[in-house]
Amino acid sequence: MREFSPQAAPVSVDVPLISNQDVYMNIAMIKEYHENMPRQEAERLAVHSLGRIGFEHIAYKRNPSLTFEERFGVMLLRAAMVKDAMILIHKPFELIPHLQDIQMITSMLETIDDLYVSCHIYDYKWMQEKYGEL
Amino acid sequence: MKTFWEKLGRAAIRIIEDSSDTIVFAGRVFVRIFQRKTYSSAMREVLVNQIYFTSVQILPVFIIVSVFFGSLLIGIVFTMLRDLGLTEFIGHVLMGLIVTELSPFLTVLLITLRSASAINTEMAVMKVNRELKTLETFRIDIVDYLLAPRVLNGIISIVLLSSLFSIVLLISGILFAKLIFGMNITVYTNIVLNSTHFSDIVLMLFKCAIYGFFITLIPIRFGLRASHELTSIPIAVSRGMVNVFAAIVIIEVLSLLIKLY
């Protein structure tokens, strides 16, 4: 059985997207840098992953032209590209301020659950009601 | 009086510290350029993009400027040579002054104005936006991912564009040699080839590489010195550009000294 040594992969306002790179490059660079994945393959993987969460159309856009949801999705996929990723989502309602509950984020996480080992969400205690039964 | 000497001493210490920091930084980047592990797929992609932005996107403007400015320069120099009765030195002037000295200098000025300023701003903005922190968080080395491709691009771009500038100058030389001296293309080619020294070409290419290294390294260094305040961006850019121009002058003077001795 393979032993996992999870690598922390944050999704946070403090870890922004690289604004002078296309969305797909923000995602693909993790695999390209750490696993030396060829550019075309990494690009395909990034675009396919964006498609899984319904954001394929933003692959060649840049950070400033994204909505809050799209930006969150890209940050999440970037984190998921880390090998044996332990995704750490820090204050998700700061990333998507108008979000009423955690539903959208959990469904995104479920859609890409094969890409990461574990996911932890950190937020203030007083935000608890937004998380419902989670 | 004491205050004056104190100020002078502090300024001197600051300049020495700054220069030594830049040299150490240059050494770090230089060493990385020769390490195989630097050339990850991500780095290669950034390098290709950088070469595209610096060398390919600029081509139409660069060729127009080369043709216009080169023709002007060649026209003036050839006219002066004819008026002074120094026609026999046409080859030496063409190769020794215009091709090996002026074309790298003009190329580096153009690229500095266009790309070095952009790199300086880009780095400062990335620092202010905490994007460098993002790379560190994802364990991406900024020297490998951001610095090495940009510096390598500077070297490649300056060498290639300077060579292109020289070729344009030599081609416009054919036209002006015909117009001013009534010289045909065979005679012109022979004169140019007889005046060409391999060592001059090597020195020119080496100088271009040094220019390319420093006109990208210095803006990067000053861009990275920006604080997390937006107001630090213009300060970082202006300091970076002043230092780039100082570096260009120093390299030009050093290359002349090497040529003399």
Q: Say if the Cβ atoms of B134 and A42 lie within 8 Å.
A: no
Is A25 within 8 Å of B45 (Cβ atoms)? yes
Helix (H, G, I), strand (E, B), or coil: what is residue A119? strand
Query: Considering chain B, what percentage of its residues have pLDDT values greater than 90?
Result: 55
Q: What is the CATH number of the domain that holds A28?
A: 3.40.50.300
- Over chain B, what is the mean pLDDT? 90
- Whether A2 maps to a domain, the answer reads no
Mutate to test the interface with A, among B41, B125, B140 (most CBs of A within 10 A): B41
ipTM for the assembly: 0.90
Residue B123: CB atoms within 10 Å: 28
Is A46 within 8 Å of A27 (Cβ atoms)? yes
- Whether A1 maps to a domain, the answer reads no
Identify which has the larger pLDDT, A118 or B70: A118
Q: Which residues contact B189 (CB under 8 A, 6 or more apart)?
A: none
Which domain, by its residues, includes A72?
7-131
Distance (Å) from the alpha carbon of B52 to chain A's nearest alpha carbon: 14
- In this complex, is the C-beta atom of B189 within 8 Å of any C-beta atom belonging to chain A? no
Q: How many distinct structural domains can be found in chain A?
A: 1
Mutate to test the interface with A, among B138, B145, B228, B233 (most CBs of A within 10 A): B138
* Chain A CB contacts of B41 below 8 Å: 32-33, 36-39, 42
Q: Say if the Cβ atoms of A34 and B134 lie within 8 Å.
A: no
Average pLDDT over residues B211-234: 92
Q: Which one, of B116, B94, B144, B93, lies nearest residue B211 by Cα? A: B116
Number of A to B CB contacts under 8 A, please give it: 57
pLDDT of residue B1: 61
- In this complex, is the C-beta atom of A29 within 8 Å of any C-beta atom belonging to chain B? yes
* Chain B CB contacts of A15 below 8 Å: 130, 133-134, 137-138
pLDDT of residue B228: 84
Nearest to A36 among B40, B135, B140 (CB): B40
Express each pLDDT in B69-109 by its tens digit: 888 888 888 888 888 888 888 888 888 888 888 899 999 99
Name the strands in the sheet holding A85-90, side by side, starting at the edge strand that comes first in the sequence.
Answer: A7-11, A85-90, A118-122
CA distance B224 to B232: 11
Is B221 within 8 Å of B22 (Cβ atoms)? yes
Q: Where are the alpha helices (DSSP H) in chain B?
A: 2-33, 41-51, 59-84, 90-92, 103-111, 117-128, 131-137, 142, 148-176, 185-194, 198-224, 232-260
Helix (H, G, I), strand (E, B), or coil: what is residue B68? helix
Q: Give the CA radius of gyration of chain A.
A: 14
Express each pLDDT in A42-76 by its tens digit: 999 999 999 999 999 999 999 999 999 999 999 99
Is A34 within 8 Å of B150 (Cβ atoms)? no
Q: Supply the DSSP string of B89-149, one letter for each residue.
A: GHHHIIIIIIIIIIHHHHHHHHHIIIIIHHHHHHHHHHHHTTHHHHHHHTT--HIIIIIHH
CA distance A78 to A31: 9
- Residue B260, pLDDT > 90, answer no
A118 strand-pairing partners: A86
Helix (H, G, I), strand (E, B), or coil: what is residue A123? coil
Residue B149: CB atoms within 10 Å: 24
Q: Say if the Cβ atoms of B45 and A37 lie within 8 Å.
A: no
